[in-house]
Amino acid sequence: MSRSPDVTVCVRPSALLTPALFLLLTDTPVLLAALLPAALLHELAHYAVLRLCGVRTARFTLTGLGASLYVPELHRLSYGAELLSAAAGPLMNLLLWVLLRGQPERCRSAVLIVLCAANIIGFFVYKGFLSRDMQFLEVSGLDRFNWFSELPIQLCNINMFLIPIGILTKRRSLLGFAFFVAPLAALMALVFPEAPFVGYSLWLPRMLGFYATHILIIVCGLSLVTLGFYRPQFRDIPGIAGTFFLLGIGALAVNFLLRHTVCPPANYFFVYGGDVDISILNLFWKWLPVPFLYELPALLILVGYMALICRLFSAWDRCRDRQSAAV
């Protein structure tokens, strides 16, 4: 749970049951990959209109039954404003459908590449505000802001570059990494945020930047499937694991260079364990205290996760083929 003077964000553990049950009962992973970003943008549209109407949202709750916004000042809205705020979510989904329905691949590619480019620009604007945020430095225990520790080459935000490269080169290993790994890392960052991003107003520049960039990373990653650029297959897993390994080696080299020059705490891809804010990685470090190699158990878990998702897509394809044959 994240509390702030403006809004409380509460994610219940049961929220993970909904996509699991959806996959179990419907066997349609493509539809789920489309629904998640659509639902996210749906709720953001409600929230944005409420704020534009001058009404404070006290709590956002995500549970196994869906998402809800608690608005104690709803009575202040006119009937027209209340209707607009209620319709904002469906209108956002309708707008997305109108914009992308039946569009050629070139158009869909442009949409994703532009979103990634906008996210890159937003990322550096957000870090610019962060560099002047004294509260961030105090809570983080830092004496000064170091740009070399805030570069967009972390496990999640590297997706802002991998998606355009993957789309343009059509390399399945990059597209697979961008679909499987980076959105998962961004989701973990949102569910388990670091101290400077917990308990503060969502309208602070650092809060807006943190949540907006990570949400866009998730939306763009899942959109690779929903817009038809990538479909998970078992044969992709070795290539994706290899991409993870090569990027990790690259991060290790970057960290080594930065740690011995301008940024001693550099730890991209969390290749150095022991003091990270992820308990399971600290556990792996106790087992194997070797930079980067200690993450190999996490890579095995990732392979299992990818195999499960590929299995769901494969089952859906077989089901669809049987239905087509019956017709």
At 119, give phi and psi (nearest 5°).
-70, -35
**How far is it, in rounded angstroms, from Cα 291 to Cα 250?**
12
Task: State the amino acid at position 254 in one-letter form.
Answer: V
Neighbour count for residue 238 (Cβ, 10 Å): 11
What is the model's pLDDT at position 1?
47
The CA distances from residue 132 to 126, 152, 153, 205, in Å, are 10, 18, 21, 11
pLDDT digits (tens, 9 = 90+) for 174-203: 999 999 999 889 888 877 788 888 877 766
29/249: higher pLDDT: 249
320's CB contacts (< 8 A; 6+ apart) are none
What is the model's pLDDT at position 95?
65
What is the model's pLDDT at position 2?
46
What is the model's pLDDT at position 59?
65
**How far is it, in rounded angstroms, from Cα 269 to Cα 46?**
34
What is the model's pLDDT at position 4?
44
The CA distances from residue 299 to 98, 166, 245, in Å, are 39, 21, 9
Mean per-residue pLDDT for 6-22? 62
Question: pLDDT tier at 58 (50, 70, 90 boundaries)?
Answer: low
Q: What are residue 2's DSSP bridge partners?
A: 9
176's CB contacts (< 8 A; 6+ apart) are 230, 232, 236, 237, 239, 240, 243, 306
**How far is it, in rounded angstroms, from Cα 257 to Cα 273?**
17
What is the model's pLDDT at position 32?
56
What is the model's pLDDT at position 321?
75
3-state DSSP assignment of residue 15: helix
What is the model's pLDDT at position 267?
93
Is residue 34's pLDDT more than 60?
no
pLDDT digits (tens, 9 = 90+) for 208-235: 889 888 888 888 888 888 788 999 999 9
